[in-house]
Amino acid sequence: MDRLFDKALVRPPEVSYRDCLSKNPHCDSIDYGKTLEQHERYERLLEENGVEVEVLPTMESHPDSIFMQDTALVAESSRTAVICRFGVPERRGEEESVEEYFREIGYTVKKIEPPGTLEGGDILVTDKDKIFVGLSERTNREGVKQLSDHLPGVEVIGVPVSEVFHLLSGVNYIGDGTLAVCPDIVDESYFDDFDMVEITKAEQNTKYKNKPINMLYLGDCKVAMPEVYKNTGDILEQIGYTVIGIDISEFWKGDAGMTCPMLPFYKGI
């Protein structure tokens, strides 16, 4: 299996998710019941494709806690968890139960300390001992430096991000040394060592702006993505990928994409 992980943590949404920090103009229409259904379907998607899913308790006090990806970087081979420090102060505290979980299962826990900030949505793990980290409004250079210090032997590369919250809205790993990249969002020259599939803004559905690149690679040339992105799906299918489209409209209303609700255990680091 050429995907980067075989296990992931998820956290179901609470009713308080309707109060998440989204800047999406449709956030006021978040439907909690539908969000819960979509999250359950997301869990099944992972399990149906051989990913072991562990479910952490809900956190009513933290509306955005459904988006587990931002809390940490998990290096399974070295049994290390780097606990992130949110760039958005209102989300700080979500990571505490994640830190507790990894301490309980015997992982080495390292932390991003002030003034560093780092969010998992800015972290692109690849199959070439390289990790790219978005320098965004959520992640700063000090956070990138500390991540590099915590991961000896792994090359950590900062990539400027300005148009979107996180790097993974502009580039994602899709297996076998290949990245899906939107050159309108990120500078492709950072990824010269990789094969690239370009997805331009012209391919992006205006309803779900800047989210088609945030796709989830499940291994064996299978990519999961929001079902609304027909053009992007066609591009991938034409070059041999199987595209699994699912409805994540309520995640999108919370400014999230396909990778956001899970925290993967990366096998190669």
Q: Tell me which residues are annotated as active site.
A: 166, 260
Task: Name the 3-class secondary structure at 22.
Answer: coil
Separation between Cα atoms, residue 149 and residue 144, nearest integer Å: 9
Radius of gyration in angstroms for the set of CA atoms belonging to the chain, rounded to a whole number: 17
Structure tokens at 109: 């826990």
Task: Name the 3-class secondary structure at 12.
Answer: coil
Q: CB neighbours (10 Å) of residue 89? A: 9
Q: Are 87 and 140 in contact (CB under 8 A)?
A: yes
Q: Are 223 and 172 in contact (CB under 8 A)?
A: no
Separation between Cα atoms, residue 56 and residue 7, nearest integer Å: 13
Separation between Cα atoms, residue 219 and residue 267, nearest integer Å: 13
Structure tokens at 89: 């102060």
Peptide bond into 115 cis (omega under 30): yes
